[in-house]
Structure 1
């Protein structure tokens, strides 16, 4: 009997290594004679460095060098040499390139010393005089200068459909509101770090916190004029990233530069404050207009978004694609414009664009439901779409209605009274809200390799990452089940640029992409093993085709005649005791282009709002998820739970505060940047709705990393309205806004 590992709640294969400290994160690698680099950041937001005095720092015994724009080596500084796989259009930032200051906290020097403590002290002694220039960091004040980018980092906003303006004017019921969320920062537990070591043969070994080692490899080889094979990037464990590790950050470049010049290993670890100096979820303002009939049918939807970006890159997210994905309406018009500011370029942050666009759209839909007097769930059902109108394509699978049904039943939605402020316990106003969401299910090209040892141990590898999502475990499960081996006999290797090519670990596509490659390479290995069996004397497999053979319990056998079998160990003896290897690349099938593929969610939330104090507590969450085949319900549940916690923070707490006078984010630490803790997080009921999809990828899986957050934030906002009767359209929803 073949053991089914996929679909089983297997424990993390890397769990013991993580809890015992055996798992090494970037800054923990012990490199002999390593020197320590500490970054000096600018204190102004825009201008020029008139003078930078490093003499006091260099006078300290043990300080090896202070690198600035004045003494850094000469490199080719072409834009194309500093772009990476996640770069938006524009001119990427190059550390220590010139005396120009483009944003507050820009890295302007690297102090390298024998010890970290000495480097940190010496960094305080670097004196800088600036020629200050007027800066602009006020997002709302600069909306008048918004522009449409010439190129888009992500999807170009869909073309208008029908006559949205005319239909709005004729609609019986109208809504026109503005929705805002502030900048937010990723704040993973592990700070960004890099260790660089140049070998005597001119080759470079780097340990980097990154969501794709081959992205760092590409970046470094281009920036330093190296052959890709001469750059080895290692990142076996990542302590959270959420998008902050998609692009190589400046500590990587600085560590490599210093190591090359000093001819010794250099480690650079950013501080929590410096983690606020690159990338964030952009400040975004959205204007939504909806026209509907008295029967609750959408007749017009207009969705216009404004997002911040830097002066040097055009960062754009898929904020306005969601009306066409989530609802049926024949008259739609959307647009997305950018506001250039003197800040670092924003960066993908968990469900980029989806968290933003769906937050606003799902609150607006709730508002329109109340205008029509129709229950918010029923209103959504009346405007359900069976196609992706933005693309004009059918869905490869869509079990959203089942998400509605199971989620509402588990939550008890039928017991909800419609009127705001109608549910109360003592001085606690009770609110029930819901929202639904989607996230695109993508598959990228990926490669994998397998090696079956003479002892029957299987090693599978791909240069992907595990940012805490469970990649090690899920890939091991796929390989073990495909090959019919015990899970403990499978080892998965990742986080090494010498391994087979893999896309960035992001976008919820890792299992779909790398997992499909793992399945394919195991099937290729099976074909090679079959060929070995066919060479045996009197082999029952002599005329067998690959599809006629099965693998289970360490055996290969004829599917229709299980008694005709051979152990894999015996097969390997036929290979003279040598391991059997295979490598394969899995590309998306052309058939996928005929469909639109998304995972879907329906989230139901209960909140309690103190009538006197305005404090809000989320007391119950039910989240129903349709995401194709679930490989591991245990790690999958953790993904949805993490997204739920993030949605609570998004709705009620997270806000990076910009001081526009200084042009700097001020609450740049975990003391002042508020995040949910255990006391803020209720018991969460997660339902995985059964969904079969034979188009989306060979495994039939859809991503879970992003779908868990997108509908949580608006569901909370809608619950707060139901509790209080006050509609808050600017996040986070804090007690001052309610009072």
Structure 2
């Protein structure tokens, strides 16, 4: 039986539930010091003076580091790379006396324990010269400038077609700033070694990215820095870039020649990147039969003064549906905030809100069922690229999703369904995410004990990577899963890309598969040394199963083959690249999301009672962990639709609800029944595994489906997200 496609329990599950899994802020070491960050209280200006005398007077406070006494940094602002950096001059903590945003780290207090460090940090006094500033996107709209994004060229004649079309929609949708709130705060434990090298445990999605960053910023040799992230307590974009606690901890360790840990507070988790605020204008046109004639999507997003952060917000509107006249544009507005960063399904989660809500509005004007309208405009090719899809089972998603959901019970007229005093509504939306594959390396090592160890530098941010790679390795090597060990999260292991974009299994999983297949060649060579008959046998005649090499009636165990090789372990390492057969095709995952809501007619409160998410993502390596990913995406989508919003006090340029009490995220009571359908989809082109990834697709489309359901319940279109009860109080 194939191991792939089986709902295997998480291989790291026992470690996590018993507390044996160590996270970045939990690694013990002798003489460890603790750092506490002092944050700026202005949005723009310069530091004139830092008075740390009161902090240093406390016994146990070792050092207060600022821009004037930190270790040297290599080069200037632009002299280092970051695998997830935006265009511009990336921020470096304590680089100089400039203050670029409210909450910026301006000093680090280092003490013998965390409580002492935090108390001492509260005693540090900072004097500033304040400069003019603005943190409000709307106040700076006149300063919008084109984003440095490679947008598809306009096709057709949108303006002409739009003006002449019998059915039109022109609507503007707004989405707020949203902040990551993973369970594990960002932390770095830097263990200083006697030879001056650093062993760094960091909350990151890319150990090698962090290693490169530290080496370039601090002028360190690569062999002197090892970054580890064996376990990550949630990330989904917040750990793609090295966050500022990492260089602060490293600089303090180098300065003091001691081990240092810096853990950010929950409030400080709001002092780096976020999902950017956007204003999106959608203009759609169709003929009387429901065929899309024109699509225009213009987005304006917020960015920092020092970097131009761009996302793929509008591109989806040119590829999800068939349309010959398309115009896509994207502007940025720089403000005095930190640079935004990637947040689950970056760009798509925002752009699909605009597109799919506008599609619902146009379907209503046509008097057409929203699902039928989308089916009518199905695109079998990505018109942005001019390439057919390697596979696209979106029609099956529509069909299986609406059948499971009971879409035929939906009434098109708003306010037509009730449950007592609650208005009932049903809505749906489509979803799309690119199915990427990146170059990746992996090593497979088979020991004398018959245990296969697979290693690669990628991380597991809680998505089940350890488990999926175990299954891939077991299947490819011909071993039971109990005899496979997976080593991840170590910069010294074979090269791997950042874990993000739903491409880890496609990229690293392919490398693992190929490494295990390369191992077969070495085992066959060993077999020939035991039995000369194997010398003339080709690999295609051999089967590798249950820990043995089998040819006809001859069978040799892996342990015998390793012993015959005269080495402790038979090893193979490969560098996997995307197959060239992908090049003529566009590759993507797709989904159809159906949502039901109940809205209290008197109070305006909203409850999502049911969601059905039908997903086409190629081969599902582990349906149990994959389902968990889709469930998490749906919950996050409920948050985007109804809860999540970072509130900024523009009088100070400071985020106000910087805690889990006031930054609202969904809890169990907010989530109704969620059903996940994995639609059958065969794809031999996307990669050898046929897998497309599920991390992002579970989120895209969910907020729009809920918004459309709220309209169906109440008859009120709310185009400013999140849709909170105050926006529905006038529905009677």
Pair in the same fold by TM > 0.5: yes
**Cα deviations across residues 179-214 of structure 1 (Å, max 9, x unaligned)?**
000000010000000011232222221111100100
Alpha carbons 1:303, 1:333 under 8 Å: kept: yes
Q: Which residue, out of 506, 515, 537, partners 1:544?
A: 537
Alpha carbons 1:83, 1:92 under 8 Å: kept: no
* Equivalence map 1:385-396=2 (5 Å): 385-396=379-390
> In the aligned structure 2, how far is the partner of 1:216 from the partner of 1:738?
46
Q: Report what 2:363 is aligned to.
A: 369
> In the aligned structure 1, how far is the partner of 2:52 from the partner of 2:689?
57
Please report how far the alpha carbon of residue 386 of structure 1 lies from its aligned counterpart in structure 2 after TM superposition.
0.7
Q: Report what 1:43 is aligned to.
A: 41
**Cα deviations across residues 251-302 of structure 1 (Å, max 9, x unaligned)?**
0000000001101101100000000000000000001111111111111111
Please report how far the alpha carbon of residue 133 of structure 1 lies from its aligned counterpart in structure 2 after TM superposition.
1.6
Give me the TM-score of the superposition, normalised by structure 1.
0.98
> In the aligned structure 1, how far is the partner of 2:139 from the partner of 2:531?
82
Q: Which residue, out of 116, 120, 123, partners 1:122?
A: 120
Q: Which residue, out of 57, 60, 63, partners 1:59?
A: 57
- 3-state DSSP class of the match of 1:492? strand
Q: Report what 1:174 is aligned to.
A: 168
Specify every segment of 5 or more residues in structure 2 that has no aligned partner in the other structure, as ranges. Answer: none
Q: Report what 1:677 is aligned to.
A: 667
> In the aligned structure 1, how far is the partner of 2:70 from the partner of 2:22?
31
Specify every segment of 5 or more residues in structure 1 that has no aligned partner in the other structure, as ranges. Answer: none
> In the aligned structure 2, how far is the partner of 1:611 from the partner of 1:597?
44
Pick which of 74-83 and 304-313 moved more: 74-83
Q: Which residue, out of 19, 24, 27, partners 1:26?
A: 24
1:83 aligns with 2:77: no
> In the aligned structure 1, how far is the partner of 2:674 from the partner of 2:458?
30
Q: Report what 2:106 is aligned to.
A: 108
> In the aligned structure 2, how far is the partner of 1:548 from the partner of 1:203?
49
Pick which of 254-263 and 528-537 moved more: 528-537
1:135 aligns with 2:133: yes
* Equivalence map 1:629-708=2 (5 Å): 629-708=619-698
> In the aligned structure 2, how far is the partner of 1:660 from the partner of 1:43?
13
- 3-state DSSP class of the match of 1:308? strand
**Cα deviations across residues 373-413 of structure 1 (Å, max 9, x unaligned)?**
00000110111111100111000000000000100111111
> In the aligned structure 2, how far is the partner of 1:538 from the partner of 1:46?
76
Q: Report what 1:622 is aligned to.
A: 612
Please report how far the alpha carbon of residue 577 of structure 1 lies from its aligned counterpart in structure 2 after TM superposition.
5.9
Please report how far the alpha carbon of residue 537 of structure 1 lies from its aligned counterpart in structure 2 after TM superposition.
3.4
Pick which of 109-118 and 80-89 moved more: 80-89
**Cα deviations across residues 507-561 of structure 1 (Å, max 9, x unaligned)?**
000000000000000000011101111222343x232211221111111113xx3
Q: Report what 2:598 is aligned to.
A: 608
Q: Report what 1:515 is aligned to.
A: 509
1:239 aligns with 2:237: no
> In the aligned structure 2, how far is the partner of 1:551 from the partner of 1:89?
49
Q: Structure 1: which 4+ aligned runs deviate by more than 6 Å?
A: none
**Cα deviations across residues 98-154 of structure 1 (Å, max 9, x unaligned)?**
1111100000000001111111111011011111122111111211110013x43xx
> In the aligned structure 1, how far is the partner of 2:651 from the partner of 2:21?
44
1:464 aligns with 2:458: yes
Alpha carbons 1:430, 1:607 under 8 Å: kept: yes
Aligned-pair RMSD on alpha carbons?
1.0
> In the aligned structure 2, how far is the partner of 1:682 from the partner of 1:548?
53
Alpha carbons 1:655, 1:674 under 8 Å: kept: yes
Q: Report what 2:299 is aligned to.
A: 305
Q: Which residue, out of 550, 554, 574, partners 2:547?
A: 554
- 3-state DSSP class of the match of 2:537? coil
> In the aligned structure 1, how far is the partner of 2:440 from the partner of 2:299?
34
- 3-state DSSP class of the match of 1:682? strand
Alpha carbons 2:72, 2:218 under 8 Å: kept: no
**Cα deviations across residues 459-504 of structure 1 (Å, max 9, x unaligned)?**
1000000000001000001111111111111000000111000000
Q: Report what 1:494 is aligned to.
A: 488
Q: Which residue, out of 428, 431, 436, partners 1:442?
A: 436
* Equivalence map 1:349-364=2 (5 Å): 349-364=343-358
> In the aligned structure 1, how far is the partner of 2:163 from the partner of 2:690?
44
1:195 aligns with 2:189: yes
Q: Report what 2:69 is aligned to.
A: 71
Alpha carbons 1:82, 1:94 under 8 Å: kept: no
> In the aligned structure 1, how far is the partner of 2:91 from the partner of 2:387?
38
1:578 aligns with 2:568: yes
* Equivalence map 1:222-301=2 (5 Å): 222-301=216-295
Alpha carbons 1:190, 1:239 under 8 Å: kept: yes
The size of the alignment, in residue pairs, is 729
- 3-state DSSP class of the match of 2:615? strand
> In the aligned structure 2, how far is the partner of 1:614 from the partner of 1:82?
51
Pick which of 206-215 and 587-596 moved more: 587-596
- 3-state DSSP class of the match of 2:50? strand
Alpha carbons 1:351, 1:709 under 8 Å: kept: yes
> In the aligned structure 1, how far is the partner of 2:120 from the partner of 2:594?
53
Q: Which residue, out of 716, 719, 727, partners 2:706?
A: 716
> In the aligned structure 2, how far is the partner of 1:626 from the partner of 1:308?
32
> In the aligned structure 2, how far is the partner of 1:368 from the partner of 1:19?
48
Please report how far the alpha carbon of residue 451 of structure 1 lies from its aligned counterpart in structure 2 after TM superposition.
1.0
